[in-house]
């Protein structure tokens, strides 16, 4: 009965990894935007968190892109996503807004990788990339997203 | 999107097309599953009070069922639009169907922040064309 289709082909896997890249690009562009525009950037903890988010997302993006390269699919250039993000998002300038936004970004990314790992594990297709490496990479990224959620939550609690 | 939501979305679209109750067969066809599978899930959704099922008449969504179905349809529209507008996927309808089972609503909401979706979504969805009605003119223009 299940419609929860496992990942069925290299093409579909590449598409899902592309979505992961875009989610990372959104985190990166948003954190960068906050860091540049928020009045609170003088707060060292908040500034560190945003800097780390930018750095970590860029690193995740690279790791996903190298998997996509092996599957022979194109990724969307970061500049394009940055333009879309800048065009669509209103920047929250208060600290709570920034923290909630970062929390939502990290939680969304975590949920996405968790579902993706589940859909890959449910599949018996042989992919163009080594399955163990694929799952290992995605699991590592997922754990870093979970750490990110924890960091933002801690920062929010400290401010209460 | 979970399986129950995919069913609710399909039932909602069939009801729109038929302008009345949805038959189990039509729902099964839309989801490309067997009528027996559709019957089983419809029974579960009825237990959850998301729909009413009358034999020989068909399925009617309750208010809560309609609310969930519209949310699922909205997520589906986001996926279609994202594939077309951001990733420039030509076969976006087909691919959206393959991906909707893996893309959760929280993820869809985040993707929604970088696409152009109109406030009337999902009322603009064209069930027969399986595409957002507002995307159709854009598609024709790009032909």
Q: Which residue of B has its CA nearest to A116?
A: B102
Average pLDDT for residues B108-135, to the nearest whole number?
Answer: 84
Separation between Cα atoms, residue A127 and residue A135, nearest integer Å: 12
Flag whether residue A42 sits within 8 Å of chain B, measured between CB atoms. no
Flag whether residue A94 sits within 8 Å of chain B, measured between CB atoms. no
Cα within 13 Å of Cα(B28), Cβ side: 15
What pLDDT is recorded for position A1?
43
Q: How far is A100 from chain B (nearest CA, A)?
A: 13
Confidence band, pLDDT 50/70/90 cuts, at residue A91: low
Burial code of A55-66, b = ≥16 C-beta within 10 A, e = fewer?
ebbeebbebbbe
Q: How far is B107 from chain A (nearest CA, A)?
A: 6
Average pLDDT for residues B84-101, to the nearest whole number?
Answer: 89
What pLDDT is recorded for position B44?
96
What pLDDT is recorded for position A97?
77
Given a cut of 80, whether residue A65 has pLDDT beyond it is yes
The predicted complex's ipTM stands at 0.84
pLDDT single digits (tens) A132-143: 999 999 999 999
What pLDDT is recorded for position B53?
94
Separation between Cα atoms, residue B76 and residue B107, nearest integer Å: 12
Asked if A26 contacts A53 with a C-beta cutoff of 8 angstroms, the reply is: no
pLDDT single digits (tens) B24-78: 999 999 998 999 999 999 999 999 999 999 988 899 999 999 999 999 999 999 9
Flag whether residue B124 sits within 8 Å of chain A, measured between CB atoms. no
What does the mean pLDDT of chain A come to? 85
Confidence band, pLDDT 50/70/90 cuts, at residue A29: confident
What pLDDT is recorded for position B72?
94
Confidence band, pLDDT 50/70/90 cuts, at residue A94: low
Does B3 contact A2 at a Cβ distance shorter than 8 Å? yes
């Amino acid at each position: 009965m299940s419609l929860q289709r496992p990942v069925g082909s290299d093409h579909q896997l590449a598409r899902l990894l592309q979505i992961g890249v875009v989610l990372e690009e959104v985190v990166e562009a948003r954190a960068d935007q906050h860091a540049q525009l928020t009045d609170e950037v003088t707060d060292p903890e908040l500034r560190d968190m945003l800097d780390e988010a930018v750095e970590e997302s860029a690193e995740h993006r690279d790791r996903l892109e190298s998997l996509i390269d092996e599957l022979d699919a194109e990724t969307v250039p970061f500049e394009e996503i940055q333009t879309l993000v800048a065009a669509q998002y209103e920047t929250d300038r208060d600290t709570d807004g920034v923290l909630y936004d970062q929390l939502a970004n990290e939680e969304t990314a975590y949920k996405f990788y968790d579902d993706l790992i589940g859909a890959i594990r449910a599949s018996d297709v042989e992919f163009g990339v080594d399955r163990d490496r694929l799952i290992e990479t995605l699991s590592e990224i997922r754990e870093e997203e979970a750490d990110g959620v924890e960091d933002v939550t801690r920062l929010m609690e400290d401010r209460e | 999107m979970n399986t129950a939501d995919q069913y609710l979305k399909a039932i909602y679209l069939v009801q729109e097309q038929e302008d009345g109750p949805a038959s189990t067969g039509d729902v099964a066809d839309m989801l490309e599953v067997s009528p027996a599978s559709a019957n089983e899930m419809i029974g579960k959704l009825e237990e959850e009070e998301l729909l009413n099922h009358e034999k020989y008449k068909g399925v009617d969504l309750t208010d809560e069922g309609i609310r969930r179905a519209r949310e699922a349809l909205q997520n589906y529209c986001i996926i279609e639009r994202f594939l077309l507008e951001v990733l420039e996927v030509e076969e976006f309808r087909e691919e959206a169907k393959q991906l909707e089972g893996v893309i959760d609503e929280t993820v869809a909401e985040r993707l929604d922040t970088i696409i152009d979706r109109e406030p009337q979504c999902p009322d603009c969805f064209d069930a027969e064309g399986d595409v957002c009605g507002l995307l159709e003119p854009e598609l024709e223009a790009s032909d």
